[in-house]
Chains A and B, each alone.
Chain A
């Protein structure tokens, strides 16, 4: 057995750190493949209904601010960059720098969620109270189709767009809300010196998760915010 067997992070059922790392990585990728199908159901529903109700989807999409979506996309891509830099820093043994990049990732992720909170609020707030609920975009009895300049059947169909908007962006945001405390945990361990060039698998794994969440948004942005010519 090599000296790697004595590494404190090596669990006894693995031959060496390399095997342990590859097992963790494979497990993470299988989880991500499962996540692709988890989101896949929503993307498939989107495809069916966008094909069926193109006018309602276009009108709903035009109501979303592409400027806000664009800015938020840059914020999230930026958080993927800081995450990649955190993994890189950990791999070259700069633990303190890795902590800095992990915290920057959390900060950018929080900015993204803050913007999302503002976007949701705009659509949800008018639905409360005694009416007239003008501007309410939560699907249901109080939904205000005139806010997306539609009426009748097309107005009702646009509720499907907003169901998918809240469902898809909500599930995406939930993944970020789950990810942030995990990043914080890894950052704390990195601060305590748990990781080095030979063992930093948890940093890599949380990185894979975060990049996957970024990829989902890469598809959500054009599909939800950019339908039709602007």
Chain B
């Protein structure tokens, strides 16, 4: 891996893409997509994060084991959020008894 050196031009391109996507995420708040607002915002953020992981963090050029660690980290994050939401979204809110 130490033999794999990425051209610095790729880093500049990734930076330009990240800056442009930051602009996009601000611009789309000028439009109301209703419940899709959050999906659009998260979609742009996930795209930006993927660019950082793949290129700045070299995941694209790393051993498969690195990919397994990344995937398991994300899988456990999804489990965490999913199980918490199945609990909270099925509760009778607001909890008036608790004030």
Binding site for B on A (CB under 8 A): 17-18, 21-22, 25-26, 29-30, 32-34, 36-37, 40-41, 43-44, 47-48, 51-52, 66, 70, 73-74, 77-78, 80-81, 83-85, 88, 91-92, 197-200, 204, 207-208, 211-212, 214-215, 218-219, 221-223, 226-230
CA distance A41 to B84 in the complex (A): 10
Decide yes or no: A74 and B56 within 8 Å by CB, A29-B69, A44-B80, A230-B30 being known contacts. Answer: no
CA distance A74 to B25 in the complex (A): 12
CA distance A164 to B97 in the complex (A): 24
CA distance A75 to B26 in the complex (A): 16
Q: Do A229 and B29 touch across chains, with their CB atoms under 8 A apart?
A: yes
Task: Pick the contact of B81: A44, A66, A214 (CB < 8 A).
Answer: A44
Q: Do B41 and A33 touch across chains, with their CB atoms under 8 A apart?
A: no
Task: Pick the contact of A36: B1, B12, B44, B73 (CB < 8 A).
Answer: B73
CA distance A30 to B19 in the complex (A): 28
Q: Do A230 and B66 touch across chains, with their CB atoms under 8 A apart?
A: no
Q: Do B2 and A17 touch across chains, with their CB atoms under 8 A apart?
A: yes
Q: Do B8 and A88 touch across chains, with their CB atoms under 8 A apart?
A: yes
Q: Do B66 and A26 touch across chains, with their CB atoms under 8 A apart?
A: yes
List residues of chain A with CB within 8 A of the CB of B98: none
Q: Is the interface of A mostly helix, strand, loop or mixed?
A: helix
Beta-carbon contacts of B21-62 to A below 8 Å, as 1s and 0s?
A: 010011001111000010001101100110011011110001
From residue 53 to 89 of chain B, which have CB atoms closer than 8 A to chain A?
53, 55-58, 62-63, 65-66, 69-70, 72-74, 76-77, 80-81, 84-85, 88-89
Q: Do B70 and A33 touch across chains, with their CB atoms under 8 A apart?
A: yes
CA distance A25 to B55 in the complex (A): 15
List residues of chain A with CB within 8 A of the CB of B29: 66, 226, 228-230
A71 CB, nearest partner CB in chain B, Å: 10
